Homo-oligomer: A and B are copies of this chain.
Amino acid sequence: MTELINAVEAVDVRFPTSLELDGSDAMNPEPDYSAAYVTIRTSEGAAGHGLAFTVGRGNDVEVAAVRALAPLVTGLSVDEVLGDLGAFSRRLTGDSQLRWLGPEKGAIHMAAAAIVNAMWDLYGRRQNKPVWQLLSELTPEQLVDLVDFRYLEDALTRDEALDILRRAEPGRAERTDHLLRHGYPAYTTTPGWLGYDDEKLVRLSVQAVADGFTQIKLKVGVDPADDRRRLRLAREALGPDIRIAVDANQAWGVRQAIDWMTTLAPYDPYWIEEPTSPDDILGHAAIRRALSPMKVATGEHTHNQVMFKQLLQANAIDILQLDASRTAGVTENVAILLLAAKFGVPVCPHAGGVGLCEMVQHLAMFDYVAVSGTTENRVIEYVDHLHEHFTDPVRVRDGHYLAPTAPGISAELHPASIAAHRFPDGPIWNRQATA
């Protein structure tokens, strides 16, 4: 009997993070971190888990988008899908009717990400390997077959991608060993939410360095005087050697970004993240030219590989911040890692939210082992929220993510967490409603 995909289940799961102002920034004052949580089930009883992260309202739309894609998936042969995950991804993103809702952007693309990641999770479980290792053991040809080069070839050809992967092949075993022993460098956003007062900011910043982090990040963009004071306090507390990145979460226009960051420059911010609209490639390029040598970072809202291609072509970014569920999951992120390697731009994945730390660690570790071959100037974002809800939570020690060893992509939620946080009928939300 051929093993078939029997079901693509989607659940609306929300965490009431707005109550503590965790996650508060210039554009997201009160997020309720949420997930359109996807489970793919097969006729043999196997399962894979993935999710699309949102910040509350609209998570139901995301669930609807997953359900709209589900009929393209159910009934497929598991072996055929796993044998050509590039084609599987194109099937989801290229459906001639559903792509009108994007194309390759917004709710429908994030839904594709959740399904694609669930399929990679299932693949990892089947191979008994964490996804970073599974990817790192594929041949250059297998990896390049995942990539849809149609819109990329003016920046990255198949042959160039193969060259990048082949150059990194000899060191794979050594780097895997290093990774398993030392982990992958992290930075932390935990101290810097806008909703935290000065005392909490300083205390958490000092704690972060004591915990082994050599980079932290602060949110900025609402009040310039506040930003100067907060950055000064952090700089005074941490000294000159700790990198302090700042993140405006799209709050500014192009000129405003340049002016605002110029006033923060005396406190040596390492990068400015999302200074303006995530769609503004030319705007990011102008900001980078004006602020250099301060670095410009973006990517968590960069909606597909064509946008990343242009950010690189336009010399608009110093740091590429890919996301696990904004673009179409592991498969599109392989292309994005190859683009970054071609242009020599370090990838520092966006994380936090629900399960993003869990998922992006696999991508960064694969990049180290098999693509860029280095962790120099590369760090994975770390936020210490909501990990307790995952069956294989990230482990961060001394400022490093330890390499996951459990099979899959680490996105599985505990059944009890799902039941408690299911929206709107789970007990967490019933309590909110009646409080």
Which A residues have a C-beta under 8 Å from some C-beta of B? 27-32, 54-58, 60-62, 64-65, 68, 95-110, 149-154, 250, 252-256, 276-283, 286, 301, 303-304, 306-307, 309-310, 313-314
Contact = CB atoms under 8 A, between A and B. Distances in A.
Given A97-B56, A105-B105, A106-B105, A151 B276 contact: yes
B103 A110 contact: no
Nearest to A157: B255
Q: Identify which of A27, A55, A279 gathers the most chain B CB atoms within 10 Å of its CB.
A: A279
18 contacts: A27-B96, A27-B99, A28-B100, A54-B100, A56-B100, A58-B65, A58-B100, A61-B61, A101-B110, A102-B106, A103-B250, A106-B108, A107-B107, A107-B108, A150-B252, A154-B254, A280-B306, A282-B313
A24 to B, nearest CB: 10
A97 B154 contact: no
Contacts of A60: 64, 68
A147 to B, nearest CB: 13
A212 B60 CA distance: 48
A58 to B, nearest CB: 4
B64 A279 contact: no
Nearest to A54: B100
Contacts of A151: 253-254, 276-277, 280, 283
A55 B100 contact: yes
Given A61-B68, A278-B103, A304-B279, A150 B97 contact: no
B98 A301 contact: no
A58 B61 CA distance: 11
B65 A61 contact: yes
A226 to B, nearest CB: 19
A95 B20 CA distance: 19
A97 B61 CA distance: 12
A58 B253 contact: no
Given A61-B108, A282-B310, 12 more contacts: A28-B97, A29-B96, A55-B100, A57-B95, A61-B61, A61-B64, A62-B101, A103-B250, A104-B277, A106-B107, A154-B255, A282-B314
B98 A58 contact: yes
Contact of A55 (B97, B153, B250, B314): B97
A310 B286 contact: no
B101 A106 contact: yes
B64 A104 contact: no
Given A277-B151, A283-B154, A107 B101 contact: yes
A58 B93 CA distance: 12
A280 B281 CA distance: 10
Contacts of A106: 101-102, 105-109, 303
**What 3 A-B pairs come out closest when comparing CB atoms?**
A106-B106, A57-B97, A56-B97
A435 B264 CA distance: 68
A65 B111 CA distance: 14
A107 B254 contact: no
A108 B279 CA distance: 16
A189 B323 CA distance: 40
B286 A306 contact: no
A96 B279 CA distance: 17
Contacts of A105: 105-106, 279, 303
Contact of A310 (B95, B98, B281): B281
Nearest to A18: B97
